[in-house]
Structure 1
Amino acid sequence: MGPRRPHARPATRITEAARKAANGSLSHRIRLPGRQDEFRELADSFDAMLARLEAHVAEQQRFAANASHELRTPLAITQTLLEVARGDLERDPGELVDRLHTVNTRAIDLTEALLLLSRADARAFTREPVDLSLLAEEATETLLPLAEERGLTIETTGGESPTVGSPALLLQLTTNLVHNAIVHNLPEQGSVRVTTRTEPGAVVLTVENTGENLAPDLVATLAEPFQRGTRRARAGRTGVGLGLAIVDSITRAHDGTLTLAPRRGGGLRVTVRLPAAD
């Protein structure tokens, strides 16, 4: 019998962990004891990779479950409306059509939002020069009638802010932020402020809105999918709960950072930092 190979057991443990991961089990960890050698370094790296994979899969499962629930809601409402109409033939068909149209529009909006989120996560877009300040002006101009309807004022300031990315996705990001600032505002005499600026190596978009005081723990969850901030003041349509989640995804896809913070005196400040164009 020949001499025992010194690293037979560590290699066996790593191989077993790899086999379990290949079979779909991501909860197993090697946790290799002993001195810090190449096997220990490999095992620790493998454990870290498994932890990231497990967290990513869990996040995707939660998202899929939430998306299924959200999509099921308008379908269930549609079914109920049709069943009621079938049982009451005297009911005004125009009212039914209007309500079905509203529900269907929400389902379409949600589906498009999910597709947009998926596109950003996959980074499936062409990058080209973009001026963030022009997108801010376009978004505020588009949403100005909505702000005026709610008695809000919008102020847009800032100079040229060149970055590189998808104009369509970055416009969606900016529009989502401005729309969010409008619908989650004071019931009257509120305001929204949109600013762009440049920093060394970065361009910065900030959208601030007045509103009620927000707890830090609530603010920390607002960029999660389907989080609508149920304790926040809102008026009109509530959206599909993906506005800030899409902003977060688009920001990360452009190698940027998203920061949410409660404003002193109430409301929210959202800051997006993106790499500046060379």
Structure 2
Amino acid sequence: MRSERARLTALYTGLLVLAGAVLTGVVYWLVREGLYASISTAVTTAVPARRLEDLPDGASTALPTGLPTPLPSASLVTPAPSTGPGVGRLPVAIAITRTVSDAAESAALDRLLTVSVIVLACYAVLSVALAWWAAGRVLRPIAVITDTARRLSGEDLLKAPPGQGPWGRIALDAPPGELKRLADTFDAMLGRMEQLVSAQQRFAANAAHELRTPVAVQRAAAEIGLAGDPSPERVARIRSKLIEVADGSDRIIEGLLLLAASGQGIRERRRVAVDELARAAAAALADEADGRGVSLAVRAGPLAVDGDPVLLERLLHNLVANGVRHNVPGGRVEIRTGPDGIAVSNTGPAVPPDTVPLLFEPFRRVNERTHGPGEGAGLGLSIVDAVARAHGATAAATANEEGGGLTVTVRF
């Protein structure tokens, strides 16, 4: 049997027929055990013994035609009085009662057995039909899941035909149960797949754009800037521009590699003092913060986690650098560590609340990129989120109501 429905039908039919056969056997045995006593009582009640004692002598040879001859039994040799009327008639009465009871019992049991076998055969045929129907009902959600998984592709997940409800989802309409939970779990998995496919497509498009731009700038600088007979001053400017663009491309590639490495997880873990990394990140960015007129405040409480020190150092560096670079002159960046995790707050331009969740996607910025000096590639918070997930932590951001800017928290 290659079909699961056929296997379930065979199983259900076997169980139903077995239950019917057992029930029939039990009923037959119970009826057989009590049938003779019931018939004997009924015959004795209908024809009392005192009326049988009035039979004439020799009535023992006048039993009803067609009844089986009673077998010798201890009940038939009951001692009778040696004198008095009715001597020898009581055994005859008992023999007649026994003969009638045996004949009625045999006929009733034969009839019961015949009817039971016929009913059991009909029950078996009905069981096959019911089992086939029940197996189909049970397997219907699985068939829907299978058909949905077979027809889906990455394009199906992202392109929904108009007016067809939740595209690429099972949306099983069924009462709560194991199959309902399975269908809902499958729908949730498809939702995550849709988000991953969409994010991957956006990432590929943004990465191609970000890498294509510096290449175009380098080509333009080389072709236009060095055209004709360039002076040494002009060559120096073009050279400086090419180096600047190359450094930007190198930062983008390094960020992409780090993002990919974070997504692969952590191979080796060791105890890392995150509070010390926070102080080191603040010290490394102190000169840049002074140059931008931004003050740094560190309140590093004890925090140690098991993880990769290089990735955790990059996480803290990106958080602090993001707070310094997206700030205003005279602004402030505060770094806090403790049992609750890491929190970095900065002042700066107001951030729309609906934009905040998108900042963790690669190449996302609050404002459009201008390709100015010191401008980041838009991978800082994406790397923070990837490193946090690699350590089993969660990264979240909220827009500050006063003073503008963001507060980014990482909870381990």
TM bracket (short chain): 0.7 to 0.9
Contact in 1 for aligned 2:271/2:306 (Cα 8 Å): yes
* Post-superposition offset of 1:25: 4.7
Distance 1:43 1:157, change over 3 A: closer
TM superposition shift of 1:240: 0.4
Amino acid at match of 1:224: E
Q: What code does the residue aligned with 1:158 have?
A: A
Equivalent runs, 1:26-37 vs 2, <5 Å: 26=157, 28-37=168-177
Pick from 191, 194, 199: which aligns with 2:332?
191
Query: 1:89: which partner in 2?
Result: 229
Partner of 2:348: 211
Of residues 165, 182, 187 in structure 2, which corresponds to 1:42?
182
123-132 vs 9-18, which deviates more? 9-18
Q: Identity over the aligned pairs, expressed in percent?
A: 39
- Find out whether 1:68 has 2:208 as its counterpart: yes
1:65, distance to aligned residue in structure 2 (A):
1.1
Q: 1:140 to 1:23 in 2, by over 3 A?
A: closer
TM-score (norm 1): 0.86
CA distance in 2, matches of 1:11, 1:207: 48
Post-superposition offset of 1:209: 1.7
Q: CA deviation at 1:21?
A: 3.9
Matches of 1:36 and 1:208, distance apart in 2 = 45
Contact in 1 for aligned 2:397/2:409 (Cα 8 Å) = yes
Question: Are the aligned partners of 2:277 and 2:316 in contact in 1 as well (CA < 8 Å)?
Answer: yes
Between 171-180 and 18-27, the greater mean CA deviation after superposition? 18-27
Structure 2-normalised TM-score? 0.60
Closer/same/farther in 2, CA of residues 85 and 211 from structure 1, 3 Å limit: closer
Equivalent AA in structure 1 for residue 227 of structure 2: G
For the pair 1:269 / 2:400, whether they are aligned, the reply is no
Single out whichever of 27-36 and 243-252 deviates more from structure 2.
Answer: 27-36
1:247-258 → structure 2 map (5 Å cutoff): 247-258=384-395
Q: Which residue of 1 aligns with 2:134?
A: 6
Q: CA deviation at 1:94?
A: 1.5
SS of 2:210's equivalent?
helix
Deviations 1:79-130 (A, max 9, x none): 1112213533325222111111110110110011011111111214421101
Q: Structure 1 unaligned segments of length 5 or more: list them.
A: none
Richer in helix (by share): 2
Amino acid paired to 2:270: E
1 or 2, which has the higher strand percentage?
Answer: 1
Going from structure 1 to structure 2, the CA distance change for 1:70 and 1:37 (only over 3 Å counts) comes to same
User: Distance in 2 between the 1:33 and 1:6 partners?
Assistant: 17
Contact kept, 8 Å, 1:183 with 1:236, in 2: the verdict is no
> What residue number does 2:32 align with?
none
Q: CA deviation at 1:272?
A: 1.5
1:237 to 374, 389, 411: 374
Larger relative contact order, structure 1 or 2 (CA cutoff 8 Å, min sep 6):
1
SS in 2 for 1:151: coil
Q: After superposition, give the CA deviation of every residue in 1:169-213 in whole Å (9 maximum; x if it has no partner).
A: 1100100111111111112x22222121124xxxx2121222233
1:58 is matched with which residue? 198
SS at 2:183's partner residue?
helix
Give the direction of change, closer, same or farther, for the CA distance of 1:30–1:266 in structure 2 (3 Å limit): closer
Partner Cα separation in structure 2 for residue 101 and residue 254 of structure 1? 36
Cα distance, 1:44 vs structure 2:
3.0
Q: Which amino acid aligns with 1:268?
A: L
Gaps of 5+ in 2: 1-124, 158-166
2:314 maps to a residue whose letter is: Q
2:218 corresponding residue in structure 1: 78
Say if 1:46 and 1:231 are closer, same or farther in 2 by CA, change over 3 A.
closer
Q: 1:19 is matched with which residue?
A: 150
| C-alpha distance in 2 between matches for 1:260 and 1:165 | 22
2:134 matched to 1:134? Answer: no
The Cα of 1:11 is off from its aligned counterpart by: 3.9
Report if aligned partners of 1:256, 1:273 keep a CA contact under 8 Å in 2: yes
1:178–1:207: 8 Å Cα contact kept in structure 2? yes
Contact 2:272 2:309 in 1 (8 A): yes
CA drift at 1:38: 4.2
Shift of residue 133 of structure 1?
0.6
Aligned residues: 267
Mapped contact 2:351–2:366 kept (Cα < 8 A): no
